Structure 1
Amino acid sequence: MARTQHSLLGSWLSVGILLGLLLSAALALEPISTAFSIATALTGYLSSPPFLCSHLMECCEENAYDSTAFQENLEKNLFGQHLARDIIFRAITGFMNTENPKKPLALSLHGWTGIGKTFTSKLIAENIHKKGMKSKYVHHFISTKHFPHGKLIDLYKDQIQLWISGNVTSCSRSIFIFDEMDKLQQGLIDTIKPFLDYYEQIDGVSYRKAIFIFLSNAGGEVINRVLLGSGKRREDLELHDLESALSVELFNNKNSGFWHSSLIDKNLIDFYVPFLPLEFKHVKECVMAELRHRKLMPDEQLAFRVASEMTYFPKDTRMFSDRGCKTVTAKLNLYL
């Protein structure tokens, strides 16, 4: 907060100095009309969206998305997820480059814990809004925190609809992230159906440029079963190998948050994105990434030792990490 205030103070001081110099020059030439013109022009600049958005407040930017930067972020930081990386990049890029989309983008991210779902939603937010998850245009709902009580489901439905309509009115590029979908009260998610449908407007507001992201551990067992039973290398798996099985599992699983949901029944989810379980080599990559994040030298031996501390399944082959990279930071602390 102090750094932000210091930056703003510096911006205003610079503007004040510039204003003083210009007014001094103007008064030397022609005291009244010239000074008034310059003051009017500067007032217009200081109150203009570019200045306000860069110095004083966050503004909703329609075209801030950089596909090249997003692709680089995914390739550099999302390990072992060739399917998710490709699907999400093409889905986000295609949507953001469409001037008048027919409906909001709805992505449902599935897989076990610690394999990149939350991290990916963070990358999406950062590449659309400069402040990322801290942006006032990114809204993160956690089922166990925001919607914990089954008896209050009607209240939650009203709140969700008000939140979405109010925020999209403020910014058409709003992002809504529903986390822990597998713990969401049954039937609650159907309250957002009107906002995900193909309506041009609802009460005078268009929701077609908004993005909805659902995060869930549900479907993880289906993904693992397909991966182990397909006979394919993980790199050879394609979306059609998993998407149909995922949607059926979610629709029929009472613990999925999408149980008998109209969002699935009416085909309003655009992509069911499978996140594959991570292997030993991917956990090592996570350790190396954490070392870089801490500005420490890469250490292959240390990465090997930390990755070896994790637990893996199936028991006979120990092929996949059962916690992904979730406890890498804590494990690494033991060696530093």
Structure 2
Amino acid sequence: MNIRVGIMRLAMFLNWFMTLYWTWLMCMHYLEKGPPTITTTTDDFIGCKPDAIDFRTSLSRMIWKLNTKIHGQPLAIRPAIRLIKKNFRFLSTGSPIIIELYGPPGTGKSYFCELLAESMFYNGLKSEFVNVLDGEDLYLQDEKLSLYTDELRDYLRGNLTKCKKSLFIFKHTEKIPEELFHPIQDIMLSKMGGIFLFTTTESSPIVSQIYAHLLKQGTEKGQMNFKHYEPALRKPLFNIGERLLFLPMTVNELKMCAVDELAQMGHIFLTDCVTESIYKRIPVDKFGYTNITCKEIIQVARYVAIYGNCDI
């Protein structure tokens, strides 16, 4: 009886040992081989050459720029990076990336679009594969709207046929006639690829009010979530894609806008001078927030860098 029990225990031990051994071998094989590779290559975007940046470089550059260049926007950057990591590789298969950007003026929406363009193409916003349509420039009469709708559909299709990585930026979408969104949606659903960005300042006053109310309640920006603001925002333009929200900024976050601009201009030595002026002259509330925008601070930084005068 004791011999039988001993044999059973030995068999159980050997079974456990072999399971552990094979698990270890599989782990070592995975570490040597590395994670599954991303199948998308530059050749998948051959029509985008020579302006297109290599796929892997483009993806890593995009994530790095969004993490380091846009400050104080957790409700925009975190979901954006998550979406890009998940879907960027599928552009070559025809799956588009669709992002709607909400928020007050000067909080980083246009800068977000610019960073994506710079990450994808060597010529950035000037690339032939980056297309910008501004709602403020559209003054279409009803009789011309139908014609422009067909032209827009052909324009989108032509660009995506040539380059599946094409970037389309639609600014001030609250001013774009609703009829023009039909051809855009048709193209997106046709699985031709492309990244589509839609920015709007609509509902900005209500967003700012909710923002101030949450701060008074003791809710910090990092603790806020999209659901706090969703009732104030318009319905999504499309039933697909991601919605990002840009919020008002603190003085410290605005300071980082100035530092980035000075570093880009090669005048980082002026940082103390500029930030001292920012702290002295920008009106803030008791929570340290202000209505001054990142765009305005960048203009200040450029003025100081050009004229070398901090008396602003």
Asked whether the equivalents of residues 251 and 279 of structure 2 are also in contact (C-alpha less than 8 Å), the reply is yes
Quote how far apart the aligned CAs of 1:323 are: 3.8
Quote how far apart the aligned CAs of 1:100 are: 6.7
Q: Structure 2: which amino acid aligns with 1:324?
A: T
The CA deviation string for residues 101-142 of structure 1, in whole angstroms up to 9 with x for no partner, is 674211001111111111111111222223221221111111
Q: Structure 1: which amino acid aligns with 2:231?
A: A
Aligned to 2:79: 87
- Of 140, 154, 174 in structure 2, the residue corresponding to residue 149 of structure 1 is 140
SS, match of residue 161 in structure 1: helix
Task: Flag the structure with higher helix content.
Answer: 2
Quote how far apart the aligned CAs of 1:196 are: 2.4
Aligned to 2:245: 274
Asked whether the equivalents of residues 178 and 213 of structure 1 are also in contact (C-alpha less than 8 Å), the reply is yes
The CA deviation string for residues 239-281 of structure 1, in whole angstroms up to 9 with x for no partner, is 3433x325xx323xxxxxx7xxxx44xx13x111000111111
Aligned-partner Cα distance in 2 for 1:102–1:239: 29
Asked whether the equivalents of residues 309 and 331 of structure 1 are also in contact (C-alpha less than 8 Å), the reply is no
Aligned pairs for 1:80-159 (under 5 A) are 80-98=72-90, 103-145=95-137, 147-151=138-142, 152-159=144-151
Q: Residue 153 and residue 320 in structure 1: after superposition, are their counterparts in 2 closer, same or farther (change >3 A)?
A: farther
Q: Structure 1: which amino acid aligns with 2:156?
A: I
Aligned-partner Cα distance in 2 for 1:64–1:302: 36
Q: Percent identity?
A: 19
Tell me, which stretches of 5 or more residues in structure 2 are unaligned?
1-41
Aligned to 1:303: 275
Aligned-partner Cα distance in 2 for 1:215–1:100: 25
TM-score (norm 1): 0.67
1:178 aligns with 2:147: no
Asked whether the equivalents of residues 258 and 271 of structure 2 are also in contact (C-alpha less than 8 Å), the reply is no
Asked whether the equivalents of residues 112 and 323 of structure 1 are also in contact (C-alpha less than 8 Å), the reply is no
Tell me, which stretches of 5 or more residues in structure 1 are unaligned?
1-48, 200-205, 252-257
Asked whether the equivalents of residues 65 and 96 of structure 1 are also in contact (C-alpha less than 8 Å), the reply is no
- Of 222, 239, 246 in structure 1, the residue corresponding to residue 226 of structure 2 is 239
Aligned pairs for 1:213-228 (under 5 A) are 213-228=197-212
Q: How many residues align?
A: 255
Aligned to 1:328: 297
Asked whether the equivalents of residues 101 and 197 of structure 2 are also in contact (C-alpha less than 8 Å), the reply is yes
TM-score (norm 2): 0.72
Aligned-partner Cα distance in 2 for 1:234–1:271: 20
Quote how far apart the aligned CAs of 1:172 are: 1.1
Q: Structure 2: which amino acid aligns with 1:274?
A: L
Quote how far apart the aligned CAs of 1:236 are: 1.2
Asked whether the equivalents of residues 143 and 178 of structure 1 are also in contact (C-alpha less than 8 Å), the reply is yes
Aligned-partner Cα distance in 1 for 2:292–2:145: 31
Asked whether the equivalents of residues 98 and 197 of structure 2 are also in contact (C-alpha less than 8 Å), the reply is yes
Asked whether the equivalents of residues 143 and 183 of structure 1 are also in contact (C-alpha less than 8 Å), the reply is yes
Quote how far apart the aligned CAs of 1:83 are: 2.1
Aligned-partner Cα distance in 1 for 2:274–2:146: 51
Q: Structure 1: which amino acid aligns with 2:255?
A: K
Aligned-partner Cα distance in 2 for 1:180–1:89: 23
Q: Residue 331 and residue 212 in structure 1: after superposition, are their counterparts in 2 closer, same or farther (change >3 A)?
A: same
Q: Structure 2: which amino acid aligns with 1:325?
A: C
Asked whether the equivalents of residues 78 and 120 of structure 1 are also in contact (C-alpha less than 8 Å), the reply is yes
Aligned to 1:58: 50
